[in-house]
Every structure is written in structure tokens, then in C-alpha cells.
Chains A and B, each alone.
Chain A
Amino acid sequence: MTDKASENGMTFSEGVQKIKALEQVIRKNVVGQDRVVREMVIGLLGAGHILIEGIPGLGKTLLARTVAKAAGSHFNRIQFTPDLMPSDITGHGMFDMQDNQFKIRKGPIFTHFLLADEINRAPAKTQAALLEAMQEQQVTIEGKSLPLAHPFLVMATQNPIEQEGTYPLPQAQTDRFMFKIFIDYPDDEDEQRIVNYATRNSIGDGLDSSKVTTILTPAEVSALQKMLTRMTIDEQIVAYIVKIIRTTRKWNGIDYGAGPRGAINLLRAARGSALLNERGFVTPDDVKAVALPVLRHRIKLSADMEIEGYNADQVLLNLLYSVEAPRM
């Protein structure tokens, strides 16, 4: 990939600078979650949707708001509840008495960044409506297809505890998320910083994302996403990705491995990682760096492994350790 300006007038080095700045800004506001921030930025670059798993109070909403603000994009949040209907997300047609005709009222899905909070609390048909829109990048209301905004990124959250009364996402639907990110407690020092930051000159307990500097515009986000498509991808890298994916299918301890969509998403994510590492080409290191968040929700561990207390990450690490890295 050369340093020529793209159709949006952004060169590779400008793109790298912009994305680095974006990451910095987000990190400044979301303290102690550097790995999560990096994965979010890669998700944004790869135009993939993100499933975040973590207990409440770790800054998932803040993260989504900050990313949206820094990327100069519009943000909406939906709290998923058992009585949430598909039309509450997508919108619906309503009869206007004055004009004597049906008008479409667009739902919160018409935004750049959508935070689907506790997605597993809504019933399957509501989940399906969102996931379908994610896949198709458009919504049909009253027989009329309406395209979604571009860029469009869904960040869905799940709570790993309190599983009562939830509707766990089926494997087929989690597959539509590019990443599954685990958000964990920050360390001691970072937690002190968060407490200070959240309580200084603040009445409530929430962190303010309004002061976040806007780094990109939606058009620039699209330009960066397009920039990734022009990256140099060696055939060995593709072969390496396919080898990893195929190994998940025959690995002892995994009942179901990842499908071709897993391979596609792994490459998309690896490109994002390469850009963040200021490279115009993908290396096996980029692939390995994003393999866990891309694959952890695409495999199903066997009952034996689950009983023995293994999790998907441990199995995937072993798997990656056994797959030969390419050299030419």
C-alpha cells in the first residue's frame, strides 16, 4: 500500500495519525481499559459490530459514547428489556391525521453508533430484528427499505451474571458480531484515577463524555474503512487465517468451530490492527493479536472442556500455539 491520497484526500500517514489520535482521546476518557479501547478502534476500522461482555459499572456506555463523540458520529442507546418490540428499535409507520397519510417514524437504529444495552434481556424476535438490520445495513418499514447511516456500528452489551430471565444469543447470531470483547475491572491505580476523575467538579456519578475532542468525521471514518480495503495482504496471511479457522473445526475440545465468516472477520480485524501498528500490510502478528476477540464467540467448547473449567480463550491460545506461523 502506498502513501497516496485516497478519494477522500487522506493519505496513509494521515490516516495513521488520525486513528492514533482517536485512540489517544478515547484512552484519556476511558481510563484503564487500553485493550478494550484498542479492540473498539479496530472494530470501528473494520466496520464490524461489537459484543461487549462485562459486569455493570465498568464504563461500557461511556466507552460507546466516547467512541461516538471522538468519531464525530451520532449515538443512540437502547436498553433491552423483555417487553421491547422490534418496532421500538427499527421504527414504525403511523397515520398522520393532518396529512391523512402514513408517515414513517424512524427508530433509534438510525444512527452511527448504537449501544444495545443488555441485548440478552430482550426476546428472540427483537434481537433478530436488530441483528438482521446489522447484517443488511438497512431496515424495512411498511414495505419501504431504508438504508442505515454510514458508518454504522452496533455495540451490544451482555451481563455475564444474573442470567435469570435472559434470552442468550444463539451462536448463529453472535457470529454477526466481529468482536466479542471482555471488559474487566481496571487495576488499582487506574481505578483511583477513575474515581478522582468522576467525582471532581461533578454532581452525579457518571463520567462526562461531552468534553471529548472530536477527531474524525463520519466521512473520515468511512475513508479509513476504505483505506483498509487497499492494504497489501499476502496470500500466506490468508492461508494462515484459513488454517487457524479450519483448525478450530477439528480441534479436540471444540464441538463447533468457526465458519468462513470467522475467517473474513479475522482478516478485517487484522487489517485494522495493522493500521494501528502503522503498517500498510498485514503480518501474522496482526492476525494473532485479534484472534481471541474474533473467535471466542464463534466456537463452542465440548461439554468435557466446560466441565473441566476451560474457557474459549484458553482453548484458542492452545490452538494458536499449535498452528504453524507462515514464513516465506
Chain B
Amino acid sequence: MDLDAITVAIRPRTVWEAIDAGFMLARQWYWKLFLLWLLAASPFLLLLFGCIFLLPPSVVKWFLLLFWLFKPFYEVPILNWISKALFGEKARVKATFADVKKKLRLCTLFTVLFTRFSPFRSFSMPVLHLEGLEGSARKQRLALLANNSETAFFLTVSGFFIELFLALSLMTVCYWLLPESLRWVDFGRFIFQPENWLLLISYIFSCALFAPFYTCAGFMMYISRRVELEAWDIEIGFKQMGQRLVRLKNGIIRTAPALALLFTIAFSGLPGKTLAATPKPDAARKTITKVLAGKDFGHKVTRYYWVPKEKIKTEPNSAWMKLLEKAFKYLAGLFENVAPLAANFGKFLLWCVAGVVIAFLLVKYFRLSEWLDGRFGKRQKTYTPPEIMFGMDLQPESLPEDIGASCLALLDKGRKREALSLLYRGTLSRLVNLYSLEIHASFTEAECCDTVRNHRPETEGTFFAALTGLWVSLAYAHRNPDGENCRRLVTEWDKLYGVQA
């Protein structure tokens, strides 16, 4: 690693700047990196595409999973190449793959595969691959370096969505390019049908497009962290300073004879000290007097300027003013002490307000969804037993304790209609409250029968069908039911839902 040959400016960077720098690197050598990814993935792709041609189309989804699982392997050559290119060494493709092959051992293969499940893969891959650390040493190293791992996580999440978006965009473009007459499936099925080759190819292509950016960004995050920890910038700075000094020293040695000659020539031409005329003290005094009496000396000029007057500080002259001053000073001190407390209280209040706002929005949301469900008649996701249905009170408290006995008493009095009504109501109440059977107010008699038949034992289904038949005949055909039939139903009811049941 030759720091002098590094191709980017070395300075402490924030993680986001490091990602930017990584993207710049990827752009710089994009096609080379793209090619490396494709070459790394191609044996895998060829092998599995070949298998898919021989196997049923349902394996497409498994292929997609395998492709997704092995993604870190396609990024290793990119990482290897970029790590050299950053320090000025442009490795050949063949040499890159040879280097990768040399570094990857069986245990490393598993570790690389395992990084697939790490959301910090972009950051940990350089540690694994470039530093060649394993086991606890790698963990320690990662723990030391990984102070920005959340950014690596965001990078992975963003990458996932970018790949997905690219894949769907490619699919959409393909769909739009299809002639109208050939669009035999709608857009949703075109994209989301289970055995979708086009989706698979689009996804692979979008991964290939984004992989250089992802790998370079992770690599630059790693480099940036090392710059920060190992002070590469200072090292480079010192090196540059040392180089400058060496250059200066060499320059002086080289130019010393010439300078010496120059000085000799220059100083040899100067007049000697004896040539200067030395003035007599009297003459000098006269000269001084003359100069002092000259125009520039001996004149007095008065000039006036406006100068602001300083305000006279008046001391508080009265006792109450002094008291007030003291009071204000005390209050100011008090506020200084209370301020942190007030800030904390304000923070607490802010959280309370935020909580209230969230609760308010949730209530509004639920009300809105209820309103929408009511408007559009959507099924409720959770079923709560209704208290009143079909105009009948289905609450267990509203019914007599022994419904069978009450029905029989009504039948004895000849009030068949009331007896049957009570039995029907009691059955519905048991079904919705005891067995949480989903019966809605819009259900007709036959729909209720179907629901009971589908969700309850056969005996209950048969009983309910018989009861409904009798009920329908009474309610809509205005036919009085046979008393014996009613009694039989009451006995059956007692067995199924009654006190002894």
C-alpha cells in the first residue's frame, strides 16, 4: 500500500462524504467494475440458467433466491480491483481473479456467504477480504472500525430499494414497449406472476448496474475510517513536508557556489568606509537648527474635532433603586439556575404534546378507516360480536337463563311464534358470542345456514337448517309451525347449547 500513489485526496471525511467518494470512484471506472461483476456472476448464471431450462418453470423463484444468496461473491472481484486502483495499481482482469482465487479459502467462502445476511455487508467485506482476518480477530477489528455501521445499514437498505425500483422500471418499460395486441395480461400479472423470467433477468441486470456503486461506497467508508484512526492524512502531510525540506536542502547545496560568487562580486564593488565624509559637530548643529526652523518644524496648528462626551455614570441614589437592582440581579441568578430545569420541563411538555398529537392522529385514522369501511362496505378485519342484529338483542344477558325451558313454556301457551323467535335469537346469540361465528347483519337466512354449516359441526348445521326452515316458513309464508317440530327443535337446542350442554 503506497500512500503516495493514492488517487483520491486523503483527508478525514464524514461517512456520507465517503459514500460520495465511493460513488465517484465507481463512476470513474464503472464499465470495468461492471464487467468484473458480470464475469464473477456469469459461471453461476450460466449453470443455473442451464438447470432451469431442464427443470420445470416453477424453479424460477428458487433460482432468484439462490442468486440473491450468492450476491457477495460477485462483489469480491470489484473490491479487489478497486482496492488496488485506489493506490494507483491498475490490475488486469485475469490477475484480479487470480488474486481473488488465492485469497478465498473454504472457510472464507462460508464467511462471505454469511455476510449476505448482514445489513452492514458493504463495510465488513473489505475487512474480511482485504485484511484477511478471521474469527475473533475480525470481530475485534470490525468492532473497532464499525462506528458508522448504521450508515452501512442505510446504504444496504437504499441499495435494495434502488435495485427493486430499477428492476420494476425495466419491467414497466418492457410492458410499455409491447404492442397493444400482444398485451394479453394486465400490468400486475405481467410483473408479479410467479414464474416470471423477465422479472428475474431485470433483477439480475439491476443488481449488476448497482453493484459497483454499492461496493465502492462500502470500500470508501472503510478507507475513510482507517484514515481517521490511523491518521493517514497526517502521515501523508509529514511525508510531503519532508520531501519539501529535502528538496530545499538539495537546492541550497546545488546553488551554494553560485551564491558565494554573487556575494563576492556584489560586495567587492561597494565604496570603502573611508570614502564617506564625516561632518564637523558645529556644522552638524547648524544643519540641525536649520532643519528645525524649516517649514516642516516649528509650526503650531490648532485643529478642532467633535468628540462625544462620555455619559456620567450615576450611582443609584435611592435605597429602593438599590433594592431593585439587587432584586434583578438575584432574579437573573435564579433564572440561570432554573434554566436547565425549565428546559427539561419544556422537553417533557414537548414529548407530551407529541404523544397527544400521535394519539389524536391514530384516533382520527381509525375513525376515518371506519368511515371508509362504512362507505365502501369493506369487511372488518376483526369481528366483534354485535349486540343487536336483525333487530334482535343478542346479548346473553338479554336472554332468559334457560332458553329451552322458556321456549317450552311459550309453546305450552300456544305462543309458537314467540317461542321460535326466542329459539332463533338464542341460537344466534350462542353462535356469535360463544363461538365467535362471523355473522353479519346483511346475511340472509341461507347465508347464515351456510356459515354455520361451514364453521360448526354437522349436528349444529343440521339443527340450524331445520330451525331456519321453520322460521322462514313462519316469517315469510305466514304458516304456523307444527308444535311437535318446535318441541323437537327445543330438545335439540338443549343438547347443543342448553344448560346441560
A interface residues, Cβ below 8 angstroms from B: 1, 232, 234, 236-237, 252-253, 279-285, 287-288, 318-328
CB-CB under 8 A from A237, the residues of chain B are 476
B377 and A288: CB pair below 8 A?
no
In the complex the two chains form, what is the Cα distance from A209 to B340 in whole Å?
A: 96
CB < 8 Å neighbour of B443 from A234, A281, A325: A325
CB < 8 Å neighbour of B444 from A279, A285, A319: A285
Given A285-B446, A288-B444, A328 and B477 touching (CB < 8 A)? no
B28 in the interface (beta carbon within 8 A) = no
B445 and A252: CB pair below 8 A?
no
Chain A to chain B contacts (Cβ below 8 Å), 12 pairs = A232-B478, A252-B375, A253-B376, A279-B477, A281-B476, A282-B476, A285-B444, A285-B446, A288-B447, A318-B378, A325-B443, A325-B444
B interface residues, Cβ below 8 angstroms from A: 374-379, 390-392, 421, 424, 440-447, 472-473, 475-478
Q: Give the shortest distance, in Å, between B398 (CB) and chain A (any CB).
A: 15
B447 and A285: CB pair below 8 A?
yes
B443 and A318: CB pair below 8 A?
no
CB-CB under 8 A from B374, the residues of chain A are 322
Q: Give the shortest distance, in Å, between B441 (CB) and chain A (any CB).
A: 4
B442 and A324: CB pair below 8 A?
yes
CB-CB under 8 A from B477, the residues of chain A are 1, 232, 279-281
Q: Give the shortest distance, in Å, between B392 (CB) and chain A (any CB).
A: 6
A236 and B475: CB pair below 8 A?
yes
In the complex the two chains form, what is the Cα distance from A318 to B372 in whole Å?
A: 12
In the complex the two chains form, what is the Cα distance from A117 to B154 in whole Å?
A: 64
> Which 7 A/B pairs are nearest by Cβ-Cβ distance?
A327-B390, A318-B377, A281-B477, A322-B377, A284-B444, A285-B446, A324-B441
A328 and B444: CB pair below 8 A?
no
B476 and A325: CB pair below 8 A?
no
In the complex the two chains form, what is the Cα distance from A323 to B390 in whole Å?
A: 11
CB-CB under 8 A from B478, the residues of chain A are 232, 234, 281
CB-CB under 8 A from B391, the residues of chain A are 327
CB-CB under 8 A from B424, the residues of chain A are 327
B376 and A318: CB pair below 8 A?
yes
In the complex the two chains form, what is the Cα distance from A1 to B391 in whole Å?
A: 27
Given contacts A281-B477, A283-B446, could you give 15 more A-B pairs where the C-beta distance is less than 8 Å? Answer: A252-B375, A281-B473, A281-B478, A283-B444, A283-B476, A284-B444, A285-B445, A288-B447, A320-B442, A321-B440, A324-B442, A325-B444, A325-B447, A327-B390, A328-B475
CB-CB under 8 A from B447, the residues of chain A are 285, 288, 325
A232 and B376: CB pair below 8 A?
no
B476 and A236: CB pair below 8 A?
yes
B442 and A325: CB pair below 8 A?
yes
Closest to B379 in A: A321
In the complex the two chains form, what is the Cα distance from A224 to B367 in whole Å?
A: 51
B377 and A284: CB pair below 8 A?
no
Most buried by A among B390, B472, B475, B478: B475
CB-CB under 8 A from A282, the residues of chain B are 476
CB-CB under 8 A from B445, the residues of chain A are 283-285, 325
Given A281-B476, A282-B476, A327-B390, A252 and B442 touching (CB < 8 A)? no
CB-CB under 8 A from A234, the residues of chain B are 475-476, 478
In the complex the two chains form, what is the Cα distance from A328 to B477 in whole Å?
A: 12
Closest to A237 in B: B476
Q: Give the shortest distance, in Å, between A17 (CB) and chain B (any CB).
A: 20
Most buried by B among A279, A280, A325: A325
CB-CB under 8 A from A236, the residues of chain B are 475-476
Q: Give the shortest distance, in Å, between A134 (CB) and chain B (any CB).
A: 31
CB-CB under 8 A from A1, the residues of chain B are 477
CB-CB under 8 A from B440, the residues of chain A are 321
Q: Give the shortest distance, in Å, between A277 (CB) and chain B (any CB).
A: 10
In the complex the two chains form, what is the Cα distance from A288 to B442 in whole Å?
A: 10
A319 and B421: CB pair below 8 A?
no
In the complex the two chains form, what is the Cα distance from A232 to B477 in whole Å?
A: 6
In the complex the two chains form, what is the Cα distance from A261 to B442 in whole Å?
A: 23
Q: Give the shortest distance, in Å, between B303 (CB) and chain A (any CB).
A: 87
A327 and B392: CB pair below 8 A?
yes
In the complex the two chains form, what is the Cα distance from A101 to B58 in whole Å?
A: 79
CB-CB under 8 A from B444, the residues of chain A are 283-285, 287-288, 325
CB-CB under 8 A from B377, the residues of chain A are 318-319, 321-322
CB-CB under 8 A from B392, the residues of chain A are 327
In the complex the two chains form, what is the Cα distance from A279 to B475 in whole Å?
A: 13
Closest to A231 in B: B477
Most buried by A among B390, B392, B444: B444
Closest to B473 in A: A281
Q: Give the shortest distance, in Å, between B90 (CB) and chain A (any CB).
A: 56
Q: Give the shortest distance, in Å, between B494 (CB) and chain A (any CB).
A: 23
A252 and B376: CB pair below 8 A?
yes
Q: Give the shortest distance, in Å, between A74 (CB) and chain B (any CB).
A: 36
Q: Give the shortest distance, in Å, between A325 (CB) and chain B (any CB).
A: 5
In the complex the two chains form, what is the Cα distance from A320 to B447 in whole Å?
A: 12
In the complex the two chains form, what is the Cα distance from A279 to B478 in whole Å?
A: 13
CB < 8 Å neighbour of B472 from A283, A287, A318: A283
In the complex the two chains form, what is the Cα distance from A284 to B379 in whole Å?
A: 21
CB-CB under 8 A from A320, the residues of chain B are 442
Closest to A326 in B: B390
CB < 8 Å neighbour of B476 from A232, A318, A319, A323: A232
CB-CB under 8 A from B442, the residues of chain A are 320-325
CB-CB under 8 A from B421, the residues of chain A are 328
Q: Give the shortest distance, in Å, between A88 (CB) and chain B (any CB).
A: 36
CB-CB under 8 A from B375, the residues of chain A are 252
Given A285-B444, A285-B447, A327 and B475 touching (CB < 8 A)? yes
In the complex the two chains form, what is the Cα distance from A280 to B478 in whole Å?
A: 11
In the complex the two chains form, what is the Cα distance from A327 to B427 in whole Å?
A: 14
CB-CB under 8 A from B473, the residues of chain A are 281
Closest to B373 in A: A322
Q: Give the shortest distance, in Å, between A167 (CB) and chain B (any CB).
A: 25
Most buried by A among B377, B392, B424, B473: B377
Q: Give the shortest distance, in Å, between B371 (CB) and chain A (any CB).
A: 10
CB-CB under 8 A from B475, the residues of chain A are 234, 236, 327-328
Closest to A1 in B: B477
Q: Give the shortest distance, in Å, between B354 (CB) and chain A (any CB).
A: 34
Q: Give the shortest distance, in Å, between A129 (CB) and chain B (any CB).
A: 38
Closest to B372 in A: A252
In the complex the two chains form, what is the Cα distance from A234 to B474 in whole Å?
A: 11
CB < 8 Å neighbour of A324 from B376, B379, B390, B476: B390
Q: Give the shortest distance, in Å, between B22 (CB) and chain A (any CB).
A: 43
CB-CB under 8 A from B441, the residues of chain A are 324-325
In the complex the two chains form, what is the Cα distance from A283 to B475 in whole Å?
A: 9
CB-CB under 8 A from A232, the residues of chain B are 476-478
In the complex the two chains form, what is the Cα distance from A232 to B376 in whole Å?
A: 34
Closest to A288 in B: B444
Closest to A232 in B: B477
In the complex the two chains form, what is the Cα distance from A83 to B376 in whole Å?
A: 44
In the complex the two chains form, what is the Cα distance from A281 to B390 in whole Å?
A: 20
CB-CB under 8 A from B446, the residues of chain A are 283, 285
Q: Give the shortest distance, in Å, between A229 (CB) and chain B (any CB).
A: 16
CB-CB under 8 A from B379, the residues of chain A are 321
In the complex the two chains form, what is the Cα distance from A211 to B473 in whole Å?
A: 40
Q: Give the shortest distance, in Å, between A240 (CB) and chain B (any CB).
A: 9
CB-CB under 8 A from A279, the residues of chain B are 477
Most buried by B among A236, A237, A322: A322
A325 and B376: CB pair below 8 A?
no
Closest to A280 in B: B477
Q: Give the shortest distance, in Å, between B420 (CB) and chain A (any CB).
A: 10
